[in-house]
Structure 1
Amino acid sequence: MHLQTLPGLFISHGSPLLALDPEQVGPALQRLGLNLPRPQAIVVMSAHWESQALEVSSAVRPETWHDFRGFPPALYQLRYPAPGQPELAEQILHLLAEAGLHAHANSTRPRDHGVWMPLLHLYPEADIPVVEISLPMSYSAEEIFKIGQTLKELRQQQILLIGSGSITHNLAELSWHNAQATVPVWASEFRNYVVQKLNHQNYEAVLNWQTIPHIQQNHPSLEHLAPLFFAMGLGHRFTIVHSSFSMGTLGMDIYRFD
C-alpha cells in the first residue's frame, strides 16, 4: 500500500457550541476531511491538556471528556469514540526521546474538547485512531516548535498531525450572544501580523510571540496560541484553509503546513 504524505494543521477549535452550531468553520473542516487522503491515524496537541512534563496518551479507548460548564445539555450527550493507538504512542515517545525531549505515556487521560470538537467535523464517523499529546507549560515556543519538527516524519506514514488551539483567545472580550459581532482592530491586526509572517516563512517572528502586536489582549494566557508553534514545526509551506471570526474576537482560522 502506497502511503501518502499528509499536511500538518493548526485548527482554531472555537467554543464547544460549534459542535451544535458549526457556523462557517464546521463546513470548512468537513471539506478538508473529504479532500485529504484518509489518515491512518491522527495526532493532536490540544490547548486543553496543559501538563508539567510532556505526555502522550496511550489509552486504548479514551473517554470523551466534556471539560466545560454551563453549556446546553445536548453538548454533554456528544461522544467521540475513536480508538486510541498505543503502538503509535510508543513510536511518538521513541521519536521524542531520540530528539532529547523527555516524555511519558499517560493511559488514563480522557479526550478533551480541543481534540474531539474539530474531529467531529473532520471525521464524524470517529473510526480513525487518535493519539493526543500534551502541551508542557514549562516549554518555550522554540521547544514546542521542536516537538513538531521531531514528529513531522509521521506525516509520511499518512498520519495527520494537528495543533488545536485558537489564533485569538480572550474569552472576556467575546460577544457571547452575537456570532456576527464586529471584529475589533486589535484582533484583526494580531491575526494579520501572524499570517503575514507565516506567509513570508518568517517563523522566527511568530516564535518570538512577546513582540507580536496586541499579544496580551488576544492571548491573556498562551495555551491557545502554543499549538500553532507545534504546527509550524510540521512543515514549511504555509497556506490558509479557512479564516473567520466568531463572536467578534474569536479567530477561527485553520492553517495548513506542507
Structure 2
Amino acid sequence: MAGMSTTTPATPLPALFVSHGSPMLALEPGSTGPFFQRLGRAIDTRFGRPKAIVVVSPHTAARLPLVLGSAHHHAVHDFGGFPPALYELQYGPPGAPALAARVADLLAAQGIAVQPSDEAGLDHGIWSVLRFAWPEADVPVLPVALAPHQPPAAQWALGEALAPLLAEGVLVLGSGSLTHNLQLVFGRRRVDALGAEDGEEMLESRAFRDWVAARSAAGDREALLAYRSQAPHAALMHPTDEHWLPFYIAAGAGGLAAPGLRLHDAVTYGCLAMDAYAFGAGARPLAEALAGLTAAPPAAASALPAA
C-alpha cells in the first residue's frame, strides 16, 4: 500500500484503547502526554513502526461505520472556547486509501454495512493522541467513523472484523474516554480552580475504573458488554455511551484470549479518566516494552512539529 511500510511484526500488534481527555491535553500534557510519547516509542521498538493506524473516535460519527479514505489528512479543531494557541496546532499525516478498501472488505465479509468516503480530517480525539505518539506525522491514518447508535455487541463485532490487520502490522486504535461525564468535569474544574488541576478522585470514578481493569484482565466479555447493569456507577461515569464504545472496538480487535492490560492509570479533574488498555497477543510484550522506557518529560506544544 502506498505510503506504508512493507515489514510485518513477528508478534501481532496489540489493539489499543486510549482516553483522549480534554482538547487541552495538547497544551497541558500532564502525565498522559508523556505516556503517549512512550507508547509510540515502545510500539516502534517492540513491533516496528506501524504500517498504518485504523482509528475510531466518538467525535467522528455516522449512521453506519464510515471509512475516511482520503490520501491526506489534517487536524480538525472541532471545539470552541479554548485558547488561541490550541487552534494553531496542526497534524497532517498521510491517509491510507488502499487500506480503506481492505477495511471495507473485512467489514463486508462479516456482514457489517460500511460507507466509503474520500473525506479528509482528524478530529481532536485522534490528532491530540497521535501528535504525541508519532509527532513526525509519517504513519498513514485511516479514521473509521463510529456508529454510536449501534449496541455494544455490534461495536465488538466491528473490532473482531478488524482483527486480521494486527498481524499485518496495522495498529487498531480506539480513542474515547474510560469515564466521560462533562457535567461532573466542569463542576470539578470549578471546585479545583484555586488548587491543582488534578483534584482528589471521586470514589465512584475509582470504583468504575478498577472494575473495568479487573473485568478486562479476567477476559470477561459478557460483563464488559453489560457494563450498564454490572459496572459500579456506570450511569454516572457515562451518561451516554459514545466515549465508551471505542473500548469495545479495541477489545474486539485484540480479543480476550490474553488478559486485557491497563497500560496507563490516571485521572484528571477528579473524574475524567485517562486510562489506556492493550488487548491481544501483543499486549504483554507492549507492556514490557513500556516498562523498559524511561519516562519522558512533558512535551511543550511548541516542541512538536507543526505539520
Aligned 8 A contact 1:231 1:257 in 2 = yes
C-alpha separation in 2, matches of 1:179 and 1:107? 40
Percent of aligned pairs with the same amino acid: 37
Secondary structure of the 2:107 match is helix
Aligned 8 A contact 1:44 1:163 in 2 = yes
Q: Structure 1 stretch 208-217 or stretch 69-78: which is displaced more?
A: 208-217
Per the TM alignment, residue 14 of structure 1 is displaced from its structure 2 partner at its CA by: 0.8
Match for 1:14 among 14, 17, 21?
Answer: 21
Per the TM alignment, residue 209 of structure 1 is displaced from its structure 2 partner at its CA by: 2.2
Per the TM alignment, residue 42 of structure 1 is displaced from its structure 2 partner at its CA by: 0.5
Match for 2:138 among 90, 106, 127?
Answer: 127
Aligned 8 A contact 1:50 1:223 in 2 = no
Hey, what does 2:37 align to over in structure 1?
A: 30
C-alpha separation in 2, matches of 1:239 and 1:108? 34
Hey, what does 2:226 align to over in structure 1?
A: 208
Q: Which amino acid aligns with 1:179?
A: E
Secondary structure of the 1:186 match is helix
Secondary structure of the 2:77 match is coil
Per the TM alignment, residue 191 of structure 1 is displaced from its structure 2 partner at its CA by: 0.9
Aligned 8 A contact 2:50 2:170 in 1 = yes
Aligned 8 A contact 1:9 1:255 in 2 = yes
Secondary structure of the 1:47 match is coil
Please list every run of 5 or more consecutive structure 2 residues that lacks an aligned counterpart in the other structure.
Answer: 1-5, 281-307
Match for 1:53 among 51, 64, 76?
Answer: 64
Q: Structure 1 stretch 57-66 or stretch 6-15: which is displaced more?
A: 57-66
Secondary structure of the 2:139 match is coil
1:181-220, CA deviations, whole angstroms, 9 ceiling, x for partnerless residues?
1111111111111111111110110111221221111111
Higher strand proportion, which one?
A: 1
Q: Which amino acid aligns with 2:111?
A: G
C-alpha separation in 1, matches of 2:182 and 2:7? 44
Hey, what does 1:78 align to over in structure 2?
A: 89
Match for 2:201 among 176, 183, 200?
Answer: 183
Hey, what does 1:148 align to over in structure 2?
A: 159
- Over aligned residues, Cα RMSD in angstroms? 1.1
Per the TM alignment, residue 109 of structure 1 is displaced from its structure 2 partner at its CA by: 4.4
C-alpha separation in 1, matches of 2:214 and 2:119? 40
Does 2:262 align with 1:240? Answer: yes
Q: Which amino acid aligns with 1:151?
A: L
C-alpha separation in 2, matches of 1:240 and 1:213? 18
Match for 1:3 among 4, 8, 15?
Answer: 8
Aligned 8 A contact 2:265 2:276 in 1 = yes
Secondary structure of the 2:149 match is coil
Rg: which structure is higher?
2
Q: TM-score, normalised by structure 2?
A: 0.82
Match for 1:222 among 220, 226, 241?
Answer: 241
Q: Which amino acid aligns with 1:45?
A: V
Q: Which amino acid aligns with 2:270?
A: G
Does 2:275 align with 1:257? Answer: no
Matched positions, count: 258
C-alpha separation in 2, matches of 1:56 and 1:50? 11
Q: TM-score, normalised by structure 1?
A: 0.97
> Any residues of structure 2 matched to 1:87-102 within 5 Å, and which?
87-102=98-113
Aligned 8 A contact 1:51 1:136 in 2 = yes
1:25-78, CA deviations, whole angstroms, 9 ceiling, x for partnerless residues?
111111111011210101101011121111110111123110011111111011
1:111-170, CA deviations, whole angstroms, 9 ceiling, x for partnerless residues?
101110110111011111000001112311001001111101101111111000000011
Secondary structure of the 2:261 match is strand
Aligned 8 A contact 2:148 2:241 in 1 = no
C-alpha separation in 2, matches of 1:207 and 1:164? 18
Please list every run of 5 or more consecutive structure 1 residues that lacks an aligned counterpart in the other structure.
Answer: none
Q: Which amino acid aligns with 2:200?
A: T
